[in-house]
Amino acid sequence: MIKRQSCVATAILIGLSAGYALAQTPQKLVWTGDVVPGQATNFTSLNLAGVDGVGAAVIGNFDLGGSKSGLYNYKNGVLTVMADISTATPGGETINSIISAGDYENGVLIFAANTTAGPSLYRYTQGSGVSLLVRQGDVLPGAGGAAVGSFFNRGVGGDANEFAFRTKRDDSTNAIYNSVGGFGMQAVDDKTRSGVAEMGNFVDFPELHYRDGQTAFIGTGLDPDNADAVPEAAGVFIARPGNPFEIVAGKNQPIPNGHDADERFTEFERPRILPDGRVAFAGGFINEAEARLGEPDHHMGVFVRNTDQTWKIYADSDMELPGLHAPIAEFNQYSIESGINYFGVNDEDGGSYFYYESTAGVFTKLLDTYGDLDGKSLTSLRMLSDTAMDGILYFRANFTDGTSGVYAMDVPEPASIGLIAAALGAMSLRRRR
């Protein structure tokens, strides 16, 4: 009798883990073909910029005498302009396209845009509009006379008081700036030693995240003793104004819970400072020699370094996630600040998935690109770190016909999962090599 109950409970748990009847159907918020607010044209493509209590920030692309894009807020079925070609800007310039945006928080969003006055960094504040922070050509402290040049995707952040950004300056040097008292100051540049063995000076800074006066960033490096070396990720770092930068995790550092001593960090993406001061990132180990042969040995995951220097692994490629069509290749994104943990997964066949983790530790598939959405075939699904709120996951979907849309998906936390998991006891979702 006990054995039979256990089998039934296991079957129910497997069914729930596969995603049956757990989440509501994704609801389309904004889609290709919808009318651009205030313009006599329609969106040609869409992306998600961030989620806040005041709504979802959306980047919408459209054609109006050339390719344009703007920032829009979606709330309760209404789409309103945050910043686009119609926006009144501080210098009277016109915003032509959005380059990048940081977190959307408390009605504030830092973003970079291409304008008629050159690339510029702005702060949008709900109820107050757009204010200018930095413009191309500005010379900021610590640059030795070099002026701010370009802004980049995944390269801006900030809040109601401060900001951070990555730039390639007019002398072709790369740098990160972190403001103090609202004034931008150089934090690191490509003359700064990375502090990681065999990586030399930083070369560039492809990603950053700002929170509470700190900037987490990915820095690339180049082995100065190897004539054939190419720039590669040196690690995850934290810059704090007035202090030396800190290494969170560096290349060739052993991976927590690695399979053996040879598994050391080679990949770093999506750095993020969590509200409690911990630092998260996606990455792991890839054997490049085997990768070139098409059969990479890898161990990828979402890692969090705690404030006491210990580690937590939220998810990794050893997990036997339900509903996978091919082995896990990487975690393309994660959201672990809203009370429910979400993960974006890519498999080795090019498919992408969304999963969430219940309070009982059960991983549930929400959606993947092997099925249809709104009757159309999917090419990719993407979420953000700033992408979930109040049990709702916001995401972008791209379709095979070239269209795209921003969706919201309610993710309830069914009590049955917790009860069944408790009845079954500890159940491993991992495989061993």
- What is the pLDDT at residue 412? 67
Coil vs helix vs strand at 350 = coil
pTM: 0.88
**pLDDT, tens digit, 9 for 90 and up, residues 34-52:** 999 999 999 999 999 999 9
339 has pLDDT over 90? no
Task: Classify residue 39 by its DSSP letter.
Answer: S
Which residue, 135, 169, 193, sits at the end of a domain?
A: 135
pLDDT band for position 295 (50/70/90)?
low
DSSP 420: H
Q: Which two tokens stand for residue 273?
A: 């400072």
Q: Do 95 and 29 share a structural domain?
A: no
Shared-domain flag, residues 225 and 316: yes
Q: Ramachandran region of residue 38, left (φ > 0), alpha (ψ -120 to 50) or beta?
A: left
Residue 274 lies in a domain: yes
219 pLDDT more than 80: yes
d(CA 209, CA 282): 13
My answer on whether 352 and 245 are in the same domain is yes
Q: What is the pLDDT of residues 67-94, one digit of tens each?
A: 999 999 999 999 999 999 999 999 999 9
Total count of domains within the chain? 2
Query: Are 98 and 218 contained in the same domain?
Result: no
Residues 52 and 30 in one domain: no
Which band of pLDDT confidence, cut at 50, 70 and 90, is reported for residue 296? low
Band of pLDDT at residue 8, cut at 50, 70 and 90: very low
- pLDDT above 70 covers a percentage of the chain that reads 88
Distance of CA 293 to the CA centre of its chain: 29
74 and 211 fall within a common domain: no
Domain that holds residue 88: 39-135
Cα-based distances in Å from 254 to 104, 168, 182: 34, 32, 38
HSE-CB at 68 with a 13 A cutoff on CA atoms is 22
Whether residue 20 sits in one domain with residue 52: no
Nearest to 55 by CA among 100, 107, 129, 99: 107
- Does residue 430 fall inside a structural domain? no
Domain for residue 176, yes or no?
A: yes
The tokens for 131 are 């204010």
Examine the pLDDT at 305 and tell me if it is beyond 70: yes
Task: Calculate the alpha carbon distances from 164 to 210, 213, 338 in Å.
Answer: 6, 9, 24
Is 433 a member of any domain? no
Using the 3D structure, point to which of 135, 150, 176 is the last residue of a domain: 135
Residues 222, 205 share a domain? yes
Boundary (domain end) residue, out of 75, 102, 135: 135
The CA distance from 348 to 327, in Å, is 6
Residues 74 and 152 in one domain: no
426 or 302, higher pLDDT: 302
- Looking at the domain assignment, is residue 429 inside a domain? no
CATH classification at residue 337: 2.130.10
